[in-house]
Amino acid sequence: MSGGDPATMADYAGALRRKLVSGAADVVVVGLGYVGLSLAVALGRAGFTVRGVDVDLERVNLVNGGRSYLSDVSSADLHDLVVSGRFSAAARFDAVANADVVLICVPTPLRKSKEPDISFILSAVESLLPWLRGGQLVILESTTYPGTTQEVLQPRLEGRGFTVGRDVFLAFSPERVDPGNAKFTTGNIPKVVGGVTPRCTELAAAFYAKVTRQVHRVSSPRVAETAKLLENTFRSVNIALANELALACRAIDVDPWEVIEAAATKPFGFMPFYPGPGTGGHCIPLDPLYLSWKVRLSGFETRFIGLADEINRAMPRHVVGMMMDALNEGGRCLHGAAVFVLGVTYKRDVNDVRESPAMEIIRLLTEKAACVSYADPFVPELSMGETKLASVPVTRETLARSDCVLIATDHRSFDYDLIAREAKLVVDVRNAMGGARSDGRKIVTL
């Protein structure tokens, strides 16, 4: 709880700012998933002392052993930080008591009803509240609906006797992690920051300025929350447009990939997006629905978002239909066919299967009694309900004995020349084999 005389409380912001600018602040990162672990490592490398908190004991043990479980975080970097004492992890929240900055980086999934599920945020806040003290900066990074910071977090902090902006400081800064992207990382992706008060914004900006080149301040957490949702809504809508374009082009016997390539030569007014088996990852399939849910409460219906979600979620079933048609043309039915799925992650060269359309495709294939195997260098084992699958190598033999090879994720490590030579039938929904598309009887694309 807050306490002390007004002069002491008035100096909280000054004392905290000095720690942030000097890099002497101690930081706690709550949630060590794709966002939290990457951010914690970046903070440690910037000179901060970081303590990670996660309820997953396996993650905690891996971190303390200097072993990374993310493709974007090297074990070497993690090990160096752990050995130097810059980074450690625990399953308890008591480290919050000694922290100057607390970052909340927990998942925000959707319920089956497509409504936001902020239970992980609520659980994290309730767990850290007993350990909060005056002079701390709390920043929510988890993607969520506009208003969460001020409508959910602020009342809980003030319910403990704090005054936000005076003795504790609260802000929202959306994560912008792009797994597998070596060009854009925490250090060079601009950070959007919106504090509950101007002082909260100033302190959050001072903190992030130590780890990134550019900090963009906005007037409120609500603006920052909405900006994050717009980023991924933009991508969802344009991917849906590319998917619909692919279906439309095939109806008029036009190659959609060639169309997009041609349009992309325009140096202004056009940004290429590409069709595929559907959207995946934690952001694009979920974030737009956080926005549509929130504005629906005010009586406004976001029709573009709903239509884009409908188109993108229909793509896995369309892919299975493509496979059925291609097999039928060769006199083979899908029932009992040996289907070899290449890539099960939601995008190339990452180990993330969250919301991956490949998983839905495998489920649909299994429902139709296909004999499914898969290969993915980033996912050695896969759980599909009670069914366990293990990745098998892409060899001449595994390709030759498959009735259909589906390229669901275009990992760079796959030998596409080998696939073109040895597979009886390839359904390529990523255009990974664009150079071999002349044999339409063997290679089918979107």
For the chain, what are the domain ranges?
Answer: 6-219, 239-445
Q: Would the CATH topology of 6-219 be identical to that of 239-445?
A: yes
Candidate list 283, 333, 371, 404, residue with the active-site label: 283
In order of 123, 202, 221, 289, the CA distances from 152 in angstroms are: 12, 22, 12, 19
Domain 6-219 CATH class label? alpha beta
**Other residues' Cβ atoms within 10 Å of the Cβ of residue 119:** 13
Domain 239-445 homologous superfamily, CATH: NAD(P)-binding Rossmann-like Domain (3.40.50.720)
HSE of 88 in the Cβ direction (CA atoms, 13 Å)? 10
* Residue burial 211-248, b: 16+ Cβ < 10 Å; e: rest: bbeebebbebbbebbbbbbebbbebbbebbbbbbbbee
Is the separation of the CB atoms in 275 and 256 below 8 Å?
yes
What pLDDT, on the 0 to 100 scale, is given for residue 387? 85
Dihedral over alpha carbons 38, 43, 45, 51 (to 10 degrees) = -90
pLDDT at 181: 85
How many other CB atoms sit within 10 Å of the CB of residue 416? 19
Q: Which helix H or strand E contains 295, and what residues bound it? A: helix 287-296
pLDDT at 9: 55
Give the closest residue to 445 by CA, choosing from 241, 249, 235, 236. 249
Catalytic annotation present for 283: yes
Residue type, 425: L
Q: Rounded to two decimals, what is the model's pTM? A: 0.92
Angle at 223 between CA 118 and CA 312, to 5 degrees: 60
- Look up tokens 């071999």; give the residue: 436
Beta pairing partners, 388: 383
DSSP state string for 30-84? E--SHHHHHHHHHHHHTT-EEEEE-S-HHHHHHHHTT---STTS-HHHHHHHHHH
Residue type present at position 212: T
Q: Are residues 167 and 135 in contact, defined by beta-carbon separation less than 8 angstroms?
A: yes
The 10 Å Cβ neighbour count of residue 396 is 12
Distances from the Cα of 40 to the Cα of 16, 47, 107, 166, 366, angstroms: 19, 11, 16, 27, 40
What are the residue ranges in the chain where pLDDT is below 70? 1-10, 435-441
Q: How far apart are CA 300 and CA 74, in angstroms?
A: 45
Q: Is 371 exposed, middle or buried (0-12, 13-18, 19+ CB in 10 A)?
A: middle
